[in-house]
Every structure is written in C-alpha cells, then in structure tokens.
Structure 1
C-alpha cells in the first residue's frame, strides 16, 4: 500500500467514519486525523463587500454607434483586405503549406510568422493583404484550402477596431480577437492601412 493509500485508509477508519455519521463533518474527521483544515492568512485585496456590488452596464465598445445609423456605410470605404491564418503547435505544418500555396499563386503582401500573440491576435498566425479585386477569388480559395485552420478575413477601412471585430468574415471556427484598444489612425498616418504586394506568383491557379 502506498503512503497516499494509507493516509486515505486512516482518514476513513471506523472512528473517523463515526465522526462523519455523528455530524462532526469533514473538519472534525480531519482534525481527528491530525490533518489541519485548509485556511489562508491575510486579507483579500478585494475586501469583503463584493457581494453587495450592483451589476453595472459596461461602456459601449463601439463609441459613436450607440444608436442606429441613419444610412448604410458605402462599400467603397473598404480599400483592401487582410487574411489572418491562425495555427498552433499541432497545426503549424498545415499553416506552412497554406503559406507556401498562397505565395505561389497570388500577388499579395505576405507578412512574416508571428509565433506569439501580436497586435489584436491572441494565437500564432501569419497574414497576407490583398486587393478588393482579388476578393472574389481569394475568399472561395481559402474556403476550399483552409486545411481546417481558423482564418479571419477583414476589410481595411478607417476604423481598424471595427474592421477586426464587426466587419469580419470567418473561415471555419471564429476565435477571440483582442481589438478593443485599437484606434483610428492619427493625423500623420494614412487614413487606411496600406498594402504593398511582395510575392511573385509562379504557379497557375487551379480552375
């Protein structure tokens, strides 16, 4: 019998089982066994009145959009698109293959590998940016060649937070995106993120 088995056998000996049946409870049983009940010393940093706190409505995460808009946004506000491909230690080989396929077939702005969370993306990823004219080809291509990976496709407008949170398309499962702190470009920045293609396609796209 191991030491752990012996300890449990001691705790459940006839005398201690009797304490449990008589209403002494686990504390008495543990006390009888010589095992101290778990306690913590010190004071909670939250105090002891948290149960009295009212449930407060959080601030809107979409400033300026608390009411319905008076008209739709123009689709021409979209200047380009990003596709973010997410992976982990079990699926990186699929991401590497998709990375290779995309670079061989499309003229896009292919980013580098993000092996740790970067920007609003909470898992490893890579991305490529592409033009509006490529949307009708790249989206179905990614749908059919995702290899089961989670892919975020978002437009690029003058509101990067909304681009990542509310204007998105997902291939396969969606996942959290930590974009609540993203702000619109400053006065010295381009109003919309620019993309600059850096690939040289060498393989004819399958049709």
Structure 2
C-alpha cells in the first residue's frame, strides 16, 4: 500500500535491517532482543576536553538559597491589605490567539480608565510569552476581575497587585484567569532608593463605552 511505502521510505536502512533481522528471528522462533548499541554504530567522542573536567561527578549536591518571597521567616502578623496601591493585568497570547488579545485590548480601553501598555511580542521582564498589560486602580478591582473572567476568550491572564515587593506580587499574590503559566521572578528586585516605593500607574485611556450590565 502507498502508506506502507511512505513509512518504509522514512525508515533508515539500518532500521530496515533491524526489522528484517527481527522478522527472520520470529520466523525461526528464536527472538534475541537487540540492544541500542547493536542497532546504532558507536559514536566516536569529539576531540577536546569537557570544560567541566573529569571530576564533576564527585561534586556534592548543594542546597540552593531560598528565593521564594515571604518564606525567610513566618510573619508575626498579616500584611495590611492597604499595602496594595494598584493592580496589573497581563494578557498572554501567541501567534494563534493574537486576535483574541487584540479584541480584549480594544474592549478594555473602550470601557475602563487604565494605563494601557505597548504590545510585547517577545518575552519581557518576568513574562515568558508575548503579552500586553494594563494597570488599574483599586476601586476598579471588583469590576475588572469578573469582567476579565467573563471576557478572557480563553486566554491566560495574570492579575497581580502592586506593593513594595514586586517579586511577591508576581509569584505569591497573583490571581490567574483560566490557567497559570511560568513567571520568571528570580531577577525581580525591589525598587531602588531613587524609585517610587510601589510601581505607579498613569491612566492613558478615555472610556467611550458603558460597561455592559445584565
């Protein structure tokens, strides 16, 4: 059959020889399992030396430092919710879902006074896939969160608060719509001495559409 021939063409001569030997062994009733070494010629090592040397297998297994925020010691009391000064919503997309992201972006800008950021078509900061974000004030939280839940169009959305601990904001204090995905928070640092204590947002949209209500 045509399909069988196509598969046969894909198989390497070595693989065909292996199958042929196996078929003959089955016919003779004496199957001898072939090891991987028997099915592929041994590769000669490349000339040169490993940069890791030849004693690396003797190295002890180290314990990495704790980089998870908030786990250095148990807190004596809860954090005040008023430490949150604003929020960010990060909408993630790819080459198959960018039109959905564009629609959410348009809808949000039409309905909410937010700080709308540029398109990020490559990983940026702790975000490992293309995305865009908008920042919003605390008073919009009870509206924007359910709005995004109902209008995510199936995209992954990260919603995080803005406090003086941006690493914890992204890794510990985050809310996810639909599903979570990796966030590279290891390099996130607290603001420097000449920077605001908490990341500031400056709304740059002018809503023209009333939010839909039932």
Would you call these one fold, judging by a TM-score over 0.5?
yes
SS across alignment from 1:153: strand
Is 1:106 equivalent to 2:112 in the alignment?
Answer: yes
Of 181, 185, 189 in structure 2, the residue corresponding to residue 179 of structure 1 is 185
Q: Distance in 2 between matches of 1:138 and 1:25?
A: 60
Q: Distance in 2 between matches of 1:197 and 1:145?
A: 21
Q: Distance in 1 between matches of 2:41 and 2:116?
A: 60
SS across alignment from 1:126: strand
Question: Counterpart of 1:38?
Answer: 43
Is 1:97 equivalent to 2:103 in the alignment?
Answer: yes
- Measure how far apart 1:46 and its partner are: 2.9
Q: Distance in 1 between matches of 2:94 and 2:136?
A: 24
Go from structure 1 to structure 2 and tell me whether the alpha carbon gap of 1:112 and 1:5 turns closer, same or farther (over 3 Å shift): closer
**Contact 2:69 2:168 survives alignment (8 Å):** no
- Measure how far apart 1:66 and its partner are: 1.7
**Contact 2:89 2:135 survives alignment (8 Å):** yes
Of 84, 93, 96 in structure 2, the residue corresponding to residue 87 of structure 1 is 93
TM-score, scaled relative to structure 2? 0.82
- Measure how far apart 1:56 and its partner are: 2.5
Query: How many pairs does the alignment contain?
Result: 200
Q: Distance in 2 between matches of 1:83 and 1:159?
A: 17
RMSD: 2.7
Gap runs ≥5 in structure 2: 1-7
Is 1:151 equivalent to 2:188 in the alignment?
Answer: no
